[in-house]
Structure 1
Amino acid sequence: MQKPEKVFDGVYLVGGQDLTDMRDCCVYLVDGGSELALIDAGLGYSCRSILDNIKKLGFDPSLLKYVIATHGHIDHIGGLSHFQSLGAKIVGHEVELDAISKGLAHLTAASYYRVNYQPVNVDVVLKGEKQDITVGERTLHCLFTPGHTPGGISPYVDLDGCRILFGQDIHGPFNASWGSDIKKWIASMKKLIDLKADILCEGHFGVYKPAAKVRQYIEHYLDQYD
């Protein structure tokens, strides 16, 4: 297994297939100084490993204030109940509540992993096109980017002149059974390109930089699916 790594001052990779469990999405930590936030929670079997990685980086897991669910697939939300039990607040978009809070099986895609999902109440329900979440001294801008799923979001944060985008599952896949919509996805990807992010923290394939490679990565999938 690899070690947790710094993406940029204030952003760290603490979970993923090479870090915690091969079934986990990439899980990122945002350090706001007095508070911490996780972007996604993995499948749910490696929450202790994620917490251990936070400790290895020198942070106090008790400062974990939020876990932001980018969308309702099990490999991203399976660990939400564990982190919520430790006091973290769960953040998700209102359009994704049928997956996150109701646990509707066709939306969580849990059957693909042959696991059960434990639904959670969303403490902070995002609405509309963009909503900000304050994490200590940092602000996470949560941009509504439907397409892969009906209520997906793509948070981003500006740190010392560097824009870092958490674009989980830009690559798809797409399935009508869980509400994929290619037309909405194309519009969402164009919104992400317009952000001109310097670093992309992707949901399964790691980190891309500089800005030219971020744009190239998104455009590659636009060309593939458009």
Structure 2
Amino acid sequence: MDVIELSPRLHFLRFPVGHAYLWRDDDGLALIDSGLPGSAQAIEEAVRTLGHHPADVRHLVLTHFHEDHVGGAAEVASWGDVTVHAHRAEAPFILGQAAGPPPDLLDWERPLLERVRAGMPASAPVTPVRIDRELDDGDVLDFGGGARVLAVPGHTPGSIAVHLPEEGVLFTGDTVARTMSGEVILGVFNVDPARAVASLRRQAELDVEIACFGHGEPLTRDASRQLKAAAARIPAV
């Protein structure tokens, strides 16, 4: 895993699959997503490298239930006074009470998903994690000057994005992605492709300088323009 500074308060934790992000306030840290199972040790090392203690993590925001985003969550949640946040529609899956729905794959996505699965590293099963706050659209979280929750369903039923309006930062989870060539695209493997498109269009309306994706390199400047361009390229499903 690589630790990359995107701004003085924001660091990108680059994993082979399922990136995470650390936001730093004066009174503690917020972690957005937690990687595959087994990722918590690398996240802890990143926190210490940045001059903090694991107990400084105050918020853990889970953008959706997929294993490459919630895999390290149970361990991170045990580090101290950590509030675990997720949308209420994702709660049954994150808590281990129900299996999450499979994607409604487009024809071109089927071979891509097979290649992704073949390249996934072996990992332990996901340990269910408690949820301290079940989120709804428009909720505001106590970090980053007021982190606004956007319900952006489509990739999963309860996918969320997190927008820091005062900082011009957007965390998209897997609702938006960026290819290896740098193109911003609609996230793939969606349970409801039409709603996923609508969710991308909603995020493209935001005033954003930095966009942080679950897959692909983050954008560190002029993100709004590139999000709008991505939305314009996509026909309605």
Say whether 1:117 aligns with 2:126. yes
Distance 1:83 1:108, change over 3 A: farther
Q: Which runs of structure 1 show a deviation greater than 2 angstroms over 4 or more consecutive aligned residues?
A: 102-109, 112-115, 213-226
Q: Taking structure 1 as reference, are residues 108 and 101 closer, same or farther at Cα in structure 2, changes over 3 Å only?
A: farther
What value does the CA root-mean-square deviation take over the aligned residues? 2.3
Residue matched to 1:126 = 135
Q: Give the drift of 1:144.
A: 0.8
**2 CA distance for matches of 1:61 and 1:85?**
10
Tell me how many residue pairs correspond in the alignment: 208
Aligned to 1:220: 230
SS in 1 for 2:146: strand
Q: 1:100 aligns with which of 91, 94, 98?
A: 94
| 5+ residue gaps, structure 1 | none
More helix by share: 1
Aligned to 2:157: 150
2:11 maps to 1:12: yes
Letter matched to residue 142 of structure 2? T
Work out whether residues 200 and 231 of structure 2, in 8 Å CA contact, stay in contact via their aligned partners in 1. Answer: no
Q: Tell me, in whole angstroms, the C-alpha distance in 1 between the residues paired with 2:193 and 2:42.
A: 35
Alignment of 1:1-226 (within 5 A): 2=2, 4-13=3-12, 15-17=13-15, 22-23=16-17, 25-87=18-80, 88-102=82-96, 104-107=98-101, 115-127=124-136, 129-135=137-143, 138-159=145-166, 162-169=167-174, 170=176, 171-175=186-190, 180-211=191-222, 213-217=223-227, 219-220=229-230, 223-224=233-234, 226=236
1:16–1:42 CA contact under 8 A, matched in 2: no
Instruction: Give the TM-score taking structure 1 as reference length.
Output: 0.82
Post-superposition offset of 1:56: 1.0
Q: Is the 8 A contact 2:203 2:227 kept in 1?
A: no
Using the alignment, how far apart are the partners of 2:102 and 2:89 within structure 1? Answer: 13
Separation (CA, whole Å) in 2 of partners of 1:163 and 1:189? 17
Partner deviation per Cα, 1:200-225 (whole Å, 9 max, x = no partner) = 011111211322x4432464366356
State the percentage of identical aligned residues. Answer: 27
Encode CA deviations 1:54-99: one digit per residue, 9 max, x unaligned.
1112223211111100011000001111011222221000011121
Q: Which runs of 5+ in 2 are unaligned?
A: 104-116, 177-185
The residue type equivalent to 1:16 in the other structure is R
User: What CA distance in whole angstroms lies between the structure 1 residues aligned with 2:38 and 2:228?
Assistant: 30
Aligned-partner Cα distance in 1 for 2:234–2:165: 29
CA contact (8 A) 2:151 2:160 kept: yes
Report the residue type matching 2:86 in the other structure.
G
Cα deviation for residue 26 of structure 1 reads 1.1
- Give the letter for the 2:189 counterpart: F
